[in-house]
Amino acid sequence: MERMSRPHVRLLGQGIRYLTTLRGGGSAFPGLVMEKLHPGFVAEELAKLPHGVVVVSGTNGKTTTTKMAVQLLRAQGLKVFTNRTGSNFVRGVAAALLGEMSLTGRLDADIAVLELDEAHAVHFVKQVEPRYALLLNVMRDQLDRFGEIDTTRRMLARIAAATTGTVVLNREDPRIASLAEHVPEGTGIRWFGLSAALRPLFPSDDDMRSAGGPEAGADHEDELAPRPAAAVELSSFEANRVRLLVEGRPVETTVDLYGVYNIYNAAAALALALAVAGPDADRPALLAELSRVTPAFGRGETIEVGGRPLQLLLVKNPAGFRLSLASARPGDYATMITINDEYADGRDVSWLWDVDFHSLREGGVDVVAGTRAWDMALRLDHDEVPVREVVPGLGDALRRFVAGAGDRPMRVFCTYTSMLELRRELSRVAEVAEI
């Protein structure tokens, strides 16, 4: 195997990727093969891109924000390579490269925009220095994998320190804002943020745990003051109508995505796109493109089942679950919750006890499913939320949920691996976009 030339190794990797695609999975496996046979593959290929590499990282919102950023930059005329399957490890990037390269080894792209898991981003930046980085937030998430949030902050600090062009930071998250001190001399810093009126809607992890709860966010106003000027500030929104300050100028657009958190993600993606496009950015085109962004798979994705909409809402930590619950009136929906505890979900599901489920008390939950269904049912019982059925098997649970929903629109809060399994089940009875 050592005698194989690099083009032959690449072709072997592309062949393996093709075969895994035929089997309907294994998105990162071809990348694992490349890591073993040609460890410098990713760095060598990405170094050829004229506009460099963008890394998007943080606890919540990576996939949706990356998708938005890709779409915005394409609207500026750039050819963008991305790891759209959400396999956000280095081997996932390698697998995505194999899928996009021609058989002659050519990657038709100007820039790469990559979503990277916080822990794996640390390994990635040792191989590839990003020209741009967008760092979103730090929340308690999968403590068994990442450790406490100060550990996560240190990981993100290494991304900031490795970035050569511009680092885009969330002005309202104290741990993200503090990363400015790690940005090397000669690398620019740009900010995205919120108006004072909106800050209580988007509590940081510290706000979530302050003595007064999320609504006591003012506790951290002094810590963040004085705030630097933001390239993009979310001023206000009403339904899908969004008002922003872009480099000090008021503008309006629409964002047709589920969840208030995605409106803030749009501000982050816009700040990044402006940093990449520079002074020649076509601002009207960027705002028009924001209104055309559709959800990433499993992140507010809507699938029509028997003529009724079913939304898949990924949840993986207390802050994300809380914001997702707060984004719609519970009584308007039939509700299902699926909790798995595979490695990609996080083995420890004790974080469910940090989520406030009282808003579900009136309408209840129709079905609870997944490998940790009974843990979830116990948690809901503690908040006096009625549960109609507990069905650990996802296929059976989904059928019962759809049959019992009546005329109500449906929503499913799901962890990562349960979301993938639900999409497979739904593809048997509905049109589900390929990842």
Q: Hey, which residues are catalytic here?
A: 348
Rounded CA-CA distance 111/48 in Å is 9
The amino acid present at 57, given as its one-letter code, is S
Q: Which helix (H) or strand (E) holds 244?
A: strand 241-246
Report the relative pairing of strands 308-314 and 299-305 from DSSP bridges: antiparallel
Query: 65, exposed or middle or buried, with CB in 10 Å at 0-12, 13-18, 19+?
Result: buried
Strands (E), 157-221: 166-170, 188-194
Rounded CA-CA distance 118/378 in Å is 31
Which tokens in the block code for residue 323? 């914001």
- Alpha helix segments (H runs only) across 189-317: 205-209, 221-224, 260-277, 283-290
Query: 167, exposed or middle or buried, with CB in 10 Å at 0-12, 13-18, 19+?
Result: buried
Taking Cα atoms as reference points, which of 320, 263, 271, 316 lies closest to residue 293? 263
Degrees to nearest 5, angle at CA 116 with 312 and 273: 85
For residues 42 and 30, the answer to whether their CB atoms sit within 8 Å is no
Rounded CA-CA distance 358/109 in Å is 48
Q: Which residue has the tokens 């984004």?
A: 327
Rounded CA-CA distance 259/314 in Å is 11
Q: What is the dihedral of CA 275, 251, 269, 199, to 10 degrees?
A: 110
Residues with Cβ < 8 Å from 132, sequence gap 6 or more? 52, 53, 54, 55, 163, 165, 166, 167, 168, 272, 275, 276
Q: Which residue has the tokens 């707060």?
A: 326
Rounded CA-CA distance 291/4 in Å is 48
